[in-house]
Structure 1
């Protein structure tokens, strides 16, 4: 694992913890009027193009190889088309906080795949305890909303988000050892272009372009889309790609526990959603689980 300055690690974790937590709300606003695959695909194609131009202007630019493009296609398919695309699709029917709850299953897959796929040590009791505490905390955080949901009408969305969590975890683990550029900016740009292109193909195949009228999307949808491009893709996704090269995957995956805290707090502050004692207890349990996992990783490192 390459050593990294502490302030860069803190900034990168802040991006994936806070900015990605806010993207669930932005997706909810955007997908209310925008077709889901077109929303996700256009977002990543634009952000990927910007990152490619930035990396091309760098003095340390390296021309991507065919093998690196193959990696980008696979990772882009798993992380962006499978991971993000399915979440956007699911948020047509699911509350943003419930989608964040279900994404919290991702660290389980990260731990299991790191052990099975990468041959890392069997998860210790402390890591397992931290993961279980984190999942319990997220359930406490939004469990009341889950119980009040429409149930059967949301089952399809629940299944999509769970599949998205596994796809994202598998793509993250695959990308650790696959050939990729040294620059995280270039690597992120390539993955976004590849994943975004796949999403646009899905958008075309599902007929999202028929009768499309962008002028009818509305200001809230466009603002949500712009937020996703800048903060969700350009900033947070690049930070995530960099973190995977400089921190243990299990530690990086703890963002999936913090994101629901951010999502629920934003819902309370901006949409007037309720904040109960149970939610506050859940948030405290989540913070404790992250501390448990991250301090364990520091001692091992």
Structure 2
């Protein structure tokens, strides 16, 4: 079936949402954790976003999904948002620069490629080359600079990236609620798990959050969650996967520039090199299958 080309304005708006809004969420998290405990802020973000999206869908006449699909979506939400995004939020609270966190998260497509192979989806040589290049970038990024002095935060982001990748691959092979309802359930489940973790870990507000903390939470809830997720769903339905997932190598650049411009962050020469290597690796894994097509397999058909 041929995919119809979407109108130019909605396409550009969706790409802007993924490239720049998702890229800017790392800086927004950096601002937010200066006022909020990390798991509390992440939990409120997803609980509020999931509630807003669910109410919108119910008012539009959509039905609640069945128990099986709801349970699957909840598990995916925990892996992607509670563990994946929660790890980034905690790491930034431990003074990991937002740009460095974004570079580490850019490795998600590399891990997703490995998990796809475990699920019986083999990759081409160019994609495995991307995996090898990405590993070099990860080692280089962790060998000096900001992450070398904070190994637990580095490990936390790495675990979060692996969890996001596995959840993405596994989630593509199970029954989930239709359309945006899946995102609503995922965010609600992640929000509740993160808030539970916040309570169990003893997080407390030492003082009322600053205005910047409330603005960061609002931005992450509305723009970083509700709008960006809808934009991603639009792209998945209307453009090739290569275009829809191209945010993976644009977000780190946006995050690094915002961190340097507004938060006084800086990267060492080795970290700049690691950024370039990881972006190259993600390009190879994401676009390799489209730029280097495999040879067609011709099967003979025996006439009866």
Go from structure 1 to structure 2 and tell me whether the alpha carbon gap of 1:69 and 1:239 turns closer, same or farther (over 3 Å shift): same
> Are the aligned partners of 1:138 and 1:257 in contact in 2 as well (CA < 8 Å)?
no
Counterpart residue number, 1:195: 190
Match of 2:67? 66
Match of 1:124 in 2: 124
Q: Provide the rounded CA distance (Å) in 1 between the counterparts of 2:292 and 2:12.
A: 17
More helix by share: 1
Scaled by the length of structure 1, what TM-score is found? Answer: 0.81
| Alpha-carbon distance between aligned partners in 1 of 2:184 and 2:2, rounded to the nearest angstrom | 21
> Which whole-Å deviations, capped at 9, do the CAs of 1:144-175 have from their partners, x for residues lacking one?
x97333734x1110010000001111111122
Q: 1:13 to 1:171 in 2, by over 3 A?
A: farther
Aligned-partner SS, 2:64: coil
Separation in structure 2 between the aligned mates of residue 246 and residue 177 of structure 1, nearest angstrom: 20
Q: Which has the larger radius of gyration?
A: 2
Two-structure CA RMSD over aligned residues (Å)? 3.4
Matches of 2:4 and 2:69, distance apart in 1: 24
- How many angstroms does 1:83 deviate by? 0.6
Query: 1:125/1:9 Cα in 2 relative to 1: closer, same or farther (>3 Å)?
Result: farther
Q: Does 1:92 align with 2:85?
A: no
Give the unaligned 5+ runs of structure 2.
295-304
8 Å Cα contact 2:127/2:288 also seen in 1? no
Is the 2:127–2:284 contact (alpha carbons within 8 Å) kept by the matching residues of 1?
no
Of 203, 216, 219 in structure 2, the residue corresponding to residue 224 of structure 1 is 216
So what's the TM-score if we normalise by structure 2?
0.80
Deviations 1:182-233 (CA, angstroms, capped at 9, x unpaired): 22x2211111111111111111111124xx3562x21222221111111111
- Relative to 1, partners in 2 of residues 1:105 and 1:178: Cα closer, same or farther, differing over 3 Å? same
C-alpha distance in structure 2 between counterparts of 1:180 and 1:2, whole Å: 24
1:40-119 matches, cutoff 5 A: 40-59=42-61, 61-93=62-94, 94-117=96-119, 119=120
Distance 1:4 1:233 in 2: 27
Q: Kindly tell me: are residues 42 and 276 of structure 1, through their superposed partners in 2, closer, same or farther at Cα, counting changes over 3 Å?
A: closer
Question: Any gaps of 5 or more consecutive residues in structure 1?
Answer: none
How many angstroms does 1:293 deviate by?
3.5
Partner residue in 1 for 2:300: none
